[in-house]
Amino acid sequence: MARLFGTDGVRGLANVDITAELALRLSVAAAHVLGDEARRHGRRPKAVVGRDPRASGEFLSAAVIAGLASAGVDVYLANVLPTPAVAFLTADTHADFGVMLSASHNAMPDNGIKFFATGGHKLDDSVEDEIAARLDQEWERPTGPDVGRVVTMPDGHTRYISHLLAVLPNRLDGLTIVIDGAHGAASLVSPEVFRLAGATVHEIGTEPDGFNINDGYGSTHLEHLRAAVVARGADLGIAHDGDADRCLAVDADGNDVDGDQIMAILAVAMKSRGTLAQDTLVATVMSNLGLIQAMRREGITVRQTGVGDRYVLEEMRAAGLSLGGEQSGHVIFLDHGTTGDGVLTGLMLAARMASTGTSLAELASVMTRLPQVLVNVKGVDRSRVESDEELQSAVKVEQEELAGTGRVLLRKSGTEPVVRVMVEAADETVAKAVADRLVDVVKARLSL
């Protein structure tokens, strides 16, 4: 049976895959699993619930709230706020768990439900599986004064903003910034906090209407941000995704600055302030080799994990590290939050520019992105990637030929029926030639 939870909660087409009925059953099951500790201590469980501005979030959040309250959980409504804000409020209010309704960077018709444990941390796989297993179990319904109450959190917005401002190392006076909110959850919060921090702010993609989230704006569509930065003569542009757990940037000339470059800038900044734990950055295997090389020059160790911010977070928590993230723009500051926070990432990036008086382009030059070629090979048996000796031998030969000037990554996709061939090299022609040769081997060895 397919697992209900994916890498980031339960996600799919709203009102088809993610229905009101599923949201109700899922929230009841979560109330029993995640509220159990409170009940053992004689307390009523408490949950924070937030969402992004998708139209479907209105009826889905109503179903979640109904399910939680009917199971005896007191619900605190954060309403439309970024995912990291809901995680923060879960911890800050000492709630037993949090719920966020969002499909992140996906198109508007999708939606999703994700849960945070006490402290605002993502759930372990085992806890998610326990929730899924209890979807259809019989349960005793509370009555009278034992049903949950539902209240609005009027200060959720300001509590999150106050938190962001409190951890900012310096003000942003003198900077002109364009914020692209993806018509999503950060449309109000992000421009406001940047202005409060001292920046001059111009906005695009900050007029959500329930239907336009991620539609041509945000971290997956940077073209409007590039144009706005240049037209406004801004120092930088910041792009979020629908739930604002990501941040990508654009420099004053309209050039993209990706998650790897942002992590490089922030790692150097934190090391200089003495706040980079163990002088170590956590990244995934998809991060550009240029990041690894740059960090080595700066005396910073890079630990690499599997693809997914949850694996980055697991490594950070296990090793007591303070900074990690992904090329896609998920950046985690474990001293200040429990999940990727696109607003905080943008603030920290701007703070480095303000404190050093240095342009984003110059800061980003700390690393040189090696040309990267990625090919998704379809119609092959991805289950045999690791076991096929001839294929693995071909990968080894190509890696040895690159002799430290590039790298090869061959992996099966966890979400699609494809094998991903990724090659980096100092020269794009070389990278493409290596990738083409390996694609031929993959097709020959793993054909169905």
Q: Is 104 a catalytic residue?
A: yes
Sign of CA dihedral 108, 311, 120, 178: negative
CA distances from 440 to 134, 203, 386, 408 (A): 46, 47, 16, 15
CA distance 134 to 393: 46
Question: Please, which residues have CB within 8 angstroms of residue 42's CB and are 6 or more apart in sequence?
Answer: none
- Contact 35/97 with Cβ under 8 angstroms? yes
According to the 3-state scheme, what is the secondary structure of 130-163?
HHHHCCCCCCCCCCHHHCCCEEECCCHHHHHHHH
Pairing of strands 331-333, 323-325: antiparallel
CA distance 335 to 316: 11
In the set 27, 56, 104, 328, the catalytic residue is 104
Q: Any long-range contacts for 250-253 (C-beta under 8 Å, 24+ apart)?
A: 250/178, 250/222, 250/225, 250/226, 251/359, 251/360, 251/361, 251/364, 252/359, 252/360, 252/361, 253/361
Q: How many CB atoms lie within 10 A of CB 105?
A: 22
User: What count of residues does the chain have?
Assistant: 448
CA distance 379 to 235: 46
CA distance 82 to 76: 15
Q: How many CB atoms lie within 10 A of CB 396?
A: 11
Sign of CA dihedral 283, 284, 285, 289: negative
- Contact 49/93 with Cβ under 8 angstroms? no
Which backbone phi and psi does 267 adopt, to 5 degrees? -65, -45
CA distance 198 to 174: 7
CA distance 300 to 294: 9
Three-state DSSP state, 238: strand
Q: Which residue type is seen at 184?
A: G
Residues marked active site are found at 104
